[in-house]
Structure 1
Amino acid sequence: MSVKDEKNNVVLNDLSPIPLYMQLKKDISEKIMNGTLPYGSKLPSEIEIAHQYGISRNTVRTSLCKLADEGFLVRKQGKGTFVRHRIVSENISTNISFTEACEANDIVPDHKLLTFALQPADELDIQELKLKPGDKVIFIERVLLGDNVPVILDRMYLHPKYVSLMNEDLEGVSLYSTLSRLFGITMHRSHKTIQLGYADEREAMYLQIKKGDPILLMTETIFDENGDPIHHTKQTILGDRYKYKVY
């Protein structure tokens, strides 16, 4: 017995030496990769998939479990099985931008600009950016998106020597590319701190999650090649959409 798709291609064949659960797993993963099953979409139930392919429910369950283990699917108790959003992966020891991290994972980067303003420096700004009381900082708040899905709520506090950045339109452009173009600076090293937290109401709203959901909180200070601080940042990160690797 064989099952064919809409183009009459054989999808499952019980005469094949390849186990049926692996054939089903291959078919579903290919549909995810080519967009037939969009990210975030809900799969039919195990019974419905079993009926569609003419196989047992146990075979379907095995395939879905394997796909969940490999990060293609997420199974939510009482809700069903969903196509998982692709995860942005970054080596924690490197200093790359969100745009570069997305592109390295074949994910389309974007952002939504929330705030772009010059404001008085607080005590933390003075400490991290080596400022004086009364100085100002450039505050940039954005939602960073991967494949049009919220990943990070980013709050950046830039050194005031980059104040001419205020004349730029930051919509739809890489912030680090703009800084490099205007000032010739590059990220040379950074200090990072990461801890577990829980989303407050505002974070939940912009990241499209629930208040109290677990999140990663990262604070970071970026330095140029001369050891001078460029900015410090507070990020609220969705751990199921962005992960750090340690080598």
Structure 2
Amino acid sequence: MEPQWFKVYQAVKKAILVGELQPGRQVPPEFDLSEEYGVSRNTVRRAYLALSQEGLIRSVNGRGSFVMQTGLTYEVDATSRFRDVLDRQGVRSTVQLLDSEYTKADEEIAGILKVESGHPLLRVTDLILGDEVPFILTVRHIRADLIEDLERKMKEANSLTLVARHEGLGQLRRVSTTVEAGLPTDREASLLQSPANAPVLVVHSKGGIDNGLLLECQRAVMNSQRIRLSFQSEPAR
């Protein structure tokens, strides 16, 4: 016989997959489902735990559990930004700044950006959210010698693309992108509200400006249960 929690789990999962419960909507409270299925609240809690581990719902202390946004396709090209993808699909995007500090390039970062070791950089760690749901955790290393007062300008604009444009550096373009899969660290899983045993996408990219210099390199950890990547090639000439 199937355990009681599994029946509740299947019913709620089906409602999510067929669209009866839309992303962002609160799932029924534990008390309501316990009454409907004649089971204990602990049984419902076990079903919700399984749904959370699959990335289908998330629990917010004091507010309840909500259906997660899943399956967004991020079409990656030279100038695309994930926040624009969210906005086009009617999802309100925000960026939460977790950390920002001036630092110096170690040998690895210096090699990526083609600068000398010890070159001045700004390291910025951001969490990109859509409708308050975390999608991407990014760590960016940006050349600090090309933009005066870079940290302040980044905090004000919340966009390196806009800062580069306003500073007369032209269009920031993605020069290269490498994608790999892996398991998140405890911190990454916590920030992305992702199960610790669920693979994430780790995207390494470099961004250049109009004069050919590399302006930044980035490591982005993406919740693979919420994002699909689609790479766009330049049309043949």
TM bracket (short chain): 0.5 to 0.7
Q: Structure 1's 86 and 174: CA in aligned 2 closer, same or farther, altered over 3 A?
A: farther
Offset at residue 44 of structure 1 (A): 8.7
* Structure 1 moving runs of 4+ over 4 Å: 28-31
Offset at residue 215 of structure 1 (A): 0.4
> 1:133 matched to which residue of 2?
117
SS in 2 for 1:85: coil
Of residues 90, 95, 112 in structure 2, which corresponds to 1:106?
90
> 2:201 matched to which residue of 1?
216
**TM-score (normalised: structure 2):** 0.67
Offset at residue 104 of structure 1 (A): 2.4
Provide Cα deviations, 1:113-157, integer angstroms capped at 9, x if missing partner: 011111011112211212112212110001111111100110000
Provide Cα deviations, 1:174-209, integer angstroms capped at 9, x if missing partner: 342233223443123420000110011111121122
Of residues 124, 130, 136 in structure 1, which corresponds to 2:108?
124
Of residues 204, 217, 220 in structure 2, which corresponds to 1:232?
217
Instruction: Give distance in 1, aligned partners of 2:53 and 2:174.
Output: 45
1:85 aligns with 2:69: yes
Of residues 123, 130, 138 in structure 2, which corresponds to 1:146?
130
Gaps of 5+ in 2: 1-14, 37-49, 58-66, 233-237
Q: Structure 1's 163 and 245: CA in aligned 2 closer, same or farther, altered over 3 A?
A: same
Paired residues of 1:143 and 1:150 also in contact (CA < 8 A):
yes
Letter in 2 for 1:194: V
**Larger mean Cα displacement after TM superposition, 154-163 or 170-179:** 170-179
> 1:194 matched to which residue of 2?
179
Alignment RMSD: 3.1
SS in 1 for 2:147: helix
Which is bigger in relative contact order (C-alpha 8 A, separation at least 6)? Answer: 2
- Identity rate of aligned residues, in percent? 20
Paired residues of 1:40 and 1:85 also in contact (CA < 8 A):
no
Instruction: Give distance in 1, aligned partners of 2:110 and 2:190.
Output: 30
Paired residues of 2:71 and 2:225 also in contact (CA < 8 A):
yes
Q: Structure 1's 132 and 144: CA in aligned 2 closer, same or farther, altered over 3 A?
A: same
Instruction: Give distance in 1, aligned partners of 2:119 and 2:125.
Output: 19
Gaps of 5+ in 1: 1-24, 33-37, 52-74
Paired residues of 1:159 and 1:230 also in contact (CA < 8 A):
yes
Q: Structure 1's 210 and 204: CA in aligned 2 closer, same or farther, altered over 3 A?
A: same
Map of 1:235-246 to 2, 5 A cutoff? 235-246=220-231
